[in-house]
Amino acid sequence: MKSIDSDWETMINSNDPVIRQKLARSLGQKDTDKKALRMLEILLRDEVSYVKTEALLSLAKVGNEKQLESVLNLLKDHDEMVRLDALETAFHLGACKALKYITNMLNDKKALVRSYAGYYLGKIGDKTSVYELEMSLQHEHSSLAKVGILQGLILLGKEERLLELLSLLKSKSYHVRSSIANGIELIPINSQYRNLVLESLKKALENERTIAVGSSIRNALLKFEKQSSAERPT
């Protein structure tokens, strides 16, 4: 009977990128030993983008700080999706050590990457990031990028930025509205601002014409309404 190691060697050396992708996915679905982690690092250097993204997703689940440097190298990858997944994985493997690298991604050429960078800086929670986010926001022209930057600022305690974020629900861009509707649930909202959020979401729902964004807004409304009900005195 062939060993698992032998199967892995066969798959990683396959000329078929789908097989290498399958290996990357499988390595993130079990208790991972040192050899498996080394294989995932090798797959991060694959020439095919979707193999690299699969390896990144697996490392986000089973990796540790030892793989962080390899992940950070992919923040310079030519593929936008690889850079996005590298941002998320870097956050999971070593948020504080990745801080300056994620901050640099506020200058990425793609708006969605800049948006992710802003959000993850907020998630890291280092108050020194407030200045970087404020400066980035001043020069940002993309509404999509502004969504993540504003989310980051709110996560860092700048809840007065909520109004600016919610105003983007009026954007003509489906992607902008979708990003806010899906992301607002992830932000802890102080009770002081909850009525503002509820009213903004209700108004946005009245004007929303797409099923997907409308559904996300309803979910967010349900969450915040439950929170408000739970806090009312009985």
What's the whole-model pTM score? 0.90
Taking the CA atoms of residue 49, residue 50, residue 53 and residue 55 in that order, the dihedral angle to the nearest 10 degrees is -110
Which pLDDT belongs to residue 176?
95
Which pLDDT belongs to residue 233?
62
Residue 81 falls inside a structural domain: yes
Residue 135 falls inside a structural domain: no
Residue 53 falls inside a structural domain: yes
Express each pLDDT in 209-232 by its tens digit: 999 999 999 999 998 888 777 776
Residue with tokens 């915040």: 224
Instruction: Indicate whether 3 pLDDT > 60.
Output: no
What's the CATH code of the domain at 36?
1.25.10.10
Burial class (CB in 10 A: 0-12, 13-18, 19+), 92: middle
Which pLDDT belongs to residue 2?
46
Express each pLDDT in 58-95 by its tens digit: 999 999 999 999 999 999 999 999 999 999 999 999 98
Mean pLDDT of 46-56: 97
Residue 85 falls inside a structural domain: yes
Taking the CA atoms of residue 210, residue 214, residue 216 and residue 222 in that order, the dihedral angle to the nearest 10 degrees is -170
Which pLDDT belongs to residue 1?
33
Express each pLDDT in 124-146 by its tens digit: 999 999 999 999 999 999 999 99
Residue 150 Cα to chain centre, angstroms = 14
Taking a C-beta distance cutoff of 8 angstroms, is the pair 83, 105 a contact? yes
Which pLDDT belongs to residue 228?
74
Assigned token pair, 7: 């199967």
Domain that holds residue 69: 1-93
Q: What residues contact residue 179 under an 8 Å CB cut-off, 6+ apart?
A: 115, 144, 147, 148
Which pLDDT belongs to residue 229?
75
Residue 143 falls inside a structural domain: no
Instruction: Indicate whether 30 pLDDT > 80.
Output: no
Which pLDDT belongs to residue 232?
67
Instruction: Tell me the three state secondary structure of residue 34.
Output: helix
Residue 61 falls inside a structural domain: yes
Residue of higher predicted confidence among 30 and 175? 175
Which pLDDT belongs to residue 4?
55
Number of domains within the chain = 1
Which pLDDT belongs to residue 192?
83
Residue 67 falls inside a structural domain: yes
Mean pLDDT of 177-198: 88
Residue 64 falls inside a structural domain: yes
Q: How confident is the model at residue 234 (pLDDT cuts 50, 70, 90)?
A: low
**What's the Cα-to-Cα distance from 140 to each of 37, 113, 117, 126, 191, rounded to whole Å?**
38, 13, 13, 21, 29
Assigned token pair, 81: 């999706």
- Which of 5-19, 136-150, 178-192 reaches the highest mean pLDDT? 136-150
